[in-house]
Structure 1
């Protein structure tokens, strides 16, 4: 998450080219080792136990290590040991930049300081992002925007990104908005929450990006963005939204979740108050849309009307 965030800053400041950015991220990603892999390598967990925890994360919004401790597969001491051996993302990025011959370590430290100053990120906030605290990142990036007036949006966006990282791309992160965030999208997957709090969320991107993400979630290489690939994206959105509905229920907020709807050539604009959340992945950028009101043209379809 942090590697891509810092990488986007390097691109924005024209400190690296897009091709250099891709190589650096690939190098940093190859050096990053997940907790589950470290646990297997240390002899603390079996491969089947790691897979079990991954499956549990589809129904419970908890980190891998927390679930592994809860299940008794890791002790607290073992988890802390594994976390200490896992390299920090900013250090992996810095190492990749140095190995590519783009910067010295001194230059990278200066860039890191400039990035934090430009975005008003203090030491406590930066450490939270280094630890993978997605909600801290969302609060920083959406600081001063109307979305923060509705805290459940922040919680939803945070949960969505956590699950993108868990199930689609470990290096995913929020990225700046571009022109691609606006206009009509060839494929849009939409789902509606109804209840004390009603809103809709949608996922949209270019077809090649969605196909790659669908392949990752399905666990197999998909060649065409056909009904199976579309259903894979819808299943991912339904998984995230189901987790969010369960979390809200635990807090006393009950919501019904309607089946996902896959539409073509849909745009979100006009008077609709939409939060656009671009997410950068190795497959490309896709956009999450969240809004408290659903366009009338889609509402009847979502509710099963004609």
Structure 2
């Protein structure tokens, strides 16, 4: 599942027509962490680890056909609906999930393994838990490297703008023709405004 999440993205975005021996070995092994380090070219180790935790969580907890569509580096993003969680401590971390109602209900339903038709308590709980899973994995990895952070409860906003002077990643995933975005900022302060 996890290598399928990355497979089409790598094929579509690989520069040049030929893979090096090292790249072929990484693909054969199917190790998500190595695939992220080798092919996604995230800005630093914090972002590599954050992306690894995101891909691993999607592969482990989401029973659906999910593919990484594209990665953008932005200073501003406006979303119809954004669920997010902040971690602070040795570094500031932000992780958000964004999309319209249909897209995020698909994510919530897939994660909860039940058909959720409207944004009710079940939908919010599923999205909160999805965010917690990713950030919990990330906080654990950071702790293994002696970077201590505290997770704050997830919060939700409608029609919100996210900004960061240093920029942040907006990662678009396609799940059965529903595009949703994961917003990632690591060692970076984020501002939210209506």
Report the TM-score range of the alignment, normalised by the length of the smaller protein: 0.7 to 0.9
More helix by share: 1
Q: Specify the SS of the correspondent of 1:252.
A: coil
2:25 paired with 1:131: no
Structure 1 unaligned spans of 5+: 13-114, 299-306
Does the 8 Å contact 1:169/1:282 carry over to 2?
no
Alpha-carbon distance in structure 2 between the residues aligned to 1:9 and 1:246: 27
Alpha-carbon distance in structure 2 between the residues aligned to 1:119 and 1:210: 36
2:191 paired with 1:295: yes
TM-score, normalised by the number of residues in structure 2: 0.81
Alpha-carbon distance in structure 1 between the residues aligned to 2:21 and 2:126: 39
Please, which of 82, 91, 98 is the counterpart of residue 188 of structure 1? 82
1:181-226 deviations in whole A, cap 9, x for unaligned? Answer: x752121111111111112111112221211111111121111122
Number of aligned pairs?
188
Does the 8 Å contact 1:217/1:232 carry over to 2?
yes
Please, which of 150, 166, 180 is the counterpart of residue 286 of structure 1? 180
Q: CA RMSD in A?
A: 2.8
CA positional deviation for 1:255: 0.8
Higher Rg: 1
Does the 8 Å contact 1:159/1:244 carry over to 2?
yes
- The higher relative CO (CA closer than 8 Å, separation ≥ 6) is in 2
Alpha-carbon distance in structure 1 between the residues aligned to 2:10 and 2:144: 38
TM-score, normalised by the number of residues in structure 1: 0.54
CA positional deviation for 1:288: 1.2
